[in-house]
Amino acid sequence: MSGLRAKHKADRHQRILEASAELFREAGYEGSKIEAIAAQAEVSVGTIYNYYQNKGDILVAIVSMEVNAVLRAGRGVVANPPTNVGDAIDTLIGIYVEHSLIYLSKEMWRQAMAISMQQPESPFGRTYTALDRALTDQICALIVRLQDLRHVSADADGRALGELVFNNMNMMFIEFVKQADATINELRAAIRRQNRVLLDAISV
């Protein structure tokens, strides 16, 4: 594929993405009709379906960008964690949840999760699952790092621990986006309390 065609393709991808992101935030995911996205992006409805399998696919592209940004930010913590185990985990989780509503609304998160559940085998579903997996891996990496630094007992099952921490956080996050009036601070406090149970088991 050469010049012009590739350029058009990139342009249109971008236009569709920008139009969608804008509309999703303004009118919500359900409130954004495909026709409206098409009009805003100055392409036809059919073209959108050339670029994305379905409406949900557009959403996942946006969610992916967000989660990848968070994963990058998390790397710093893993490389250089606070020496206190509780603080280390809390810092990483803080990065995740504090960023969560900057580009995405609660409704967008809910829709994204719902679609990944309905269609786990679709490209969308796979991508979303892969993102969850990457977050889990990052938490596990942090714990292994803390074990290397002798802040966590070496005979703890790092993988299991990381999964436990991630799964709990993720479930709490799900409840958070389901409740319109829940705040990020409440969420973090609740997770902190839950994690405290674990810390006793593993701190050196």
Partner DNA sequence: CCGAAAAACTGAACCAATTCCAAATTTGAG
Partner DNA sequence: CTCAAATTTGGAATTGGTTCAGTTTTTCGG
Are 153 and 147 in contact, with CB atoms under 8 Å apart? yes
Residues 129-148 that bind a second copy (CB under 8 A): 129
Residues 164-193 that bind a second copy (CB under 8 A): 164, 166-168, 170-172, 174-175, 178-180, 193
Q: How far apart are CA 185 and CA 17, in angstroms?
A: 31
DSSP 8-state class, residue 121 = T
CB of residue 117 to DNA, shortest distance in Å: 15
Q: How far apart are CA 85 and CA 162, in angstroms?
A: 13
Q: Which of 14, 18, 27, 50 binds DNA (CB under 7 A)?
A: 50
When the beta carbons of 5 and 121 are compared against a second copy, the nearer one is 121
Q: Which of 17, 19, 21, 43 binds DNA (CB under 7 A)?
A: 43
Stretch of 9-17, 35-43, 61-69, 106-114 contacting a second copy, by CB under 8 A: 106-114
| CA nearest to 58, candidates 34, 79, 74 | 34
Q: Which of 114, 130, 184, 204 binds a second copy (CB under 8 A)?
A: 114
Q: How many other C-beta atoms can be found within 10 angstroms of the C-beta atom of residue 121?
A: 8
CB of residue 83 to a second copy, shortest distance in Å: 21
Are 32 and 23 in contact, with CB atoms under 8 Å apart? yes
